[in-house]
Structure 1
Amino acid sequence: MRNKFPEALAIIRRKQVEARTGLARSTIYSKMAEGTFPKPVNIGPRAVGWVESEITDWLNTQVEQSRSKTGRKAAA
């Protein structure tokens, strides 16, 4: 069976997610509840982390959506 995960899989903790996204803890959990933010994976009995590539993909999507909105023009 072929591995469906990237070879260089990395898990980052909440503080790193906050630093990468600029979102507060409460906003991260609110967006997860809405289904608009990646969910964490269990990495221990009382520890979770996020797949770094999923956070990167989410950030890229936010940039694409922001820049593709109608009415926004690039600075001349």
Structure 2
Amino acid sequence: MNRILRVKEISELLGLSKSTIWRMRRDGLFPAPLKIGPRAVGWRESDVTDWIKSRDRLQ
């Protein structure tokens, strides 16, 4: 099963602020979240993992 990560978890995982994650999302540098409720979004864990792997390949 693919877990859904909230922005706080992603922030802790990546060591980036929540505002930086949202800025990267706005600029197309981070995967789009899924709407999981009227006022809630989250990311598939696999999307975040794939994004991390793609960043590792660039460096």
TM-score by length of 1: 0.71
| Bigger radius of gyration | 1
What is the aligned residue count? Answer: 59
In structure 2, what is the equivalent of residue 42 of structure 1?
A: 35
Q: Which gives a bigger RCO, structure 1 or 2 (Cα 8 Å, sep 6+)?
A: 2
Partner Cα separation in structure 2 for residue 57 and residue 23 of structure 1: 17
In structure 1, what is the equivalent of residue 45 of structure 2?
A: 52
Partner Cα separation in structure 1 for residue 13 and residue 53 of structure 2: 12
Partner Cα separation in structure 1 for residue 15 and residue 49 of structure 2: 13
TM-score by length of 2: 0.88
Instruction: Give the structure with the higher percent strand.
Output: 2
Structure 2 residue ranges without an equivalent (≥5): none
Instruction: Give the structure with the higher percent helix.
Output: 2
Matched, 1:21 2:14: yes
Percent of aligned pairs sharing the same letter: 42
Structure 1 residue ranges without an equivalent (≥5): 1-7, 67-76
